Structures are given as structure tokens and as C-alpha cells.
Structure 1
């Protein structure tokens, strides 16, 4: 019984272990056997020394929604880059900014992290704080001129949360964001 639970924990944590090895290889810029072996050693040390609470994966990956997420993210990065460039180059207007709070709908640390990172990687917004207990992201955004711009940015972050959940979330999480979107919250 102890073996089964230890094996189950190891199996659940395998994606994160693989991610640490890949991250190590990316940091060194080498995809060699030596980089993989040293990455495994570093990942073992990191996971044994810095014990974090295990993150439970939903075990669900919806390939179509994952592809939609990737394509939409690439489009948003290009669009955000062009928008920021335009704001910088438009000498007629002083760029305005705002700090906005975005309450998320799904109570899951992994979904919150993916949503926060995605929102912050798109040029024009930057994550400045997370209130984990209340599930609120605080972002600094540029190009905000009105309350409508602020609400549009909130809806954009909630749309990213919905895409993340549709691609990687559990069925209950998908239902939560789908119901919220149908109710006009997205």
C-alpha cells in the first residue's frame, strides 16, 4: 500500500520533473545527453531539497483547445507587441496606465499560475501581485484610457483563464468557466 501511494505520487509529479529537466536544458541552451543527465541530477536535488506541496493535475488535456490556446496566445503576443509599439511611437498622446484587479473564477493554483503567466507574457500587461486566498490577479496595464478599457482588459484575462481551463482543466472547472461565460461574466 505504501509503495502504491509513493508510486502514485511519483507518477503525478513526473510532468513537473520532466519540466525541470527541460528547463535545465533550455537554460544551458543544449539538448545533449550530458545536459539531460545533469538536468536529471539537478531536478532530483531540487525536488528533494525544496519540497513543495504537490500540485494535482486534472489529468485532462484537450488537444483542440490546447491548440486554440497556443494559436490565440501567439496572435495576442504579436498584437500586444504592435499595440505597445504604437503607444510608444505616438508622440501626440501620453500613455496612460492602470492597476486592475481581476477575480478569477476557478480555485486552482495551477490554473491561476497559467492564467497569470499568460496574461503577463502578453505585451502591455504585467502581473504585479496575486491574492491566492481570494483568487485575484493584480495587473499593471498600459493603454488604459477609460473604465471601458479597464473592463475590456478584465474580460481579456478571464478569457485567458477560460482557454487555460478548456485546454487543461477538469470537467468541473470547464463547467464553472462555461457557466460564468454564459452568464456574461467573461
Structure 2
């Protein structure tokens, strides 16, 4: 189904025409036939005269990997919350570490999603990000001993799930 047919040689995106028509009718305050037709005409003229550039958001949504990511992310939230609560209730010093993690993806949008996911989980925080080196510096709370390899493995798993759920074909080739 083509949602942007050509009108006199230019593409006219139908979802945008529908939205502009709805705005027109809403502004007029009455859904009469004249208002709808006037809004449709105005929307067609505006979208034909002022075409928008095609923008690639840099990500795709794949439903099955998305569900897998959400389930794993939810589990990570529960486990890390319990870990942080246990370490904060317990007497003594809470173990903390700074860990450098190298990412496999070069996509900025994937890197931002990974950073958001890591910072959302209790007990981990992205301190710095080096795009040119594909590296993140994380502050990790509540993992005893040297947990560098554990953290790197967890971030690699998270990166794989995010790229599988949202990555472009190029992102998938880099990571998976």
C-alpha cells in the first residue's frame, strides 16, 4: 500500500494530508462537508507545494525481538532493584565500580537507546560516552568483587537485544 502517491509528479503523504485536514476541521469547530472538503483541499495544496524531506529515524521496530527486549529489561529492573535494596539496607560499604565497556554498534541512535536503558536500571549509570571509540564508562553499584567482565557481558547482551529490536540492517550486521 502506497501512503504517498504522486500528484502532478510530487509525492503527497496521505497520513499528513489526513492530519492536516483534521486540524483544519478542528480549528473551524464543525465537521461539515464544506469544512472537510476545504481542509482536504488546503492539506493537498500545502503538502504538494511544500514537500517535506524524507527522514530516516535510524531505527526500525521488530515486534518479536522487542518483546524479548522488554521481558529481559523488566527482569533486569527487578533483579537490580532487589540488589540495590539489599546492599543499601545491609550495614557496611556498598561495593561500587567504574567499568569501561566497548560497544559493537556505531549507530548513534542505538548507542543512545543503550545509554537510556543502562541509566534506567537501578545500580548503573552512564558516566561518560566516547562515540569515536564506541565506549561507555559506567558506574555500577552492588556487585561484589571485580565485576568488570560480568558488567561487560550484561551490556553486550543488552546491546544485542536493543539492536535486534530496533536496529537497521547495518546495525544488525555490526552486532549480531
2:110 maps to 111
1:64 maps to 64
Aligned residues: 131
Q: Which has the higher helix share?
A: 1
Deviation at 1:73, TM superposition (A): 1.1
Please tell me whether residue 136 in structure 1 is matched to residue 135 in structure 2. yes
Moved over 4 A (4+): none
Tell me, what secondary structure is at the counterpart of 1:172? Answer: helix
1:98 maps to 97
**1:167–1:88 Cα change, 3 Å:** same
> Is the contact between residue 94 and residue 141 of structure 2 (CA under 8 Å) also seen in structure 1?
yes
Measured in 2, the distance between the counterparts of 1:152 and 1:59 equals 28
Structure 2 unmatched ranges of 5 or more: 1-8, 17-25, 27-53
> Is the contact between residue 80 and residue 122 of structure 1 (CA under 8 Å) also seen in structure 2?
yes
2:162 maps to 164
Tell me, what secondary structure is at the counterpart of 2:140? Answer: strand
TM normalised by structure 2 equals 0.66
CA RMSD in angstroms comes to 2.7
Please tell me whether residue 87 in structure 1 is matched to residue 68 in structure 2. no
**Bigger radius of gyration among the two:** 2
2:119 maps to 120
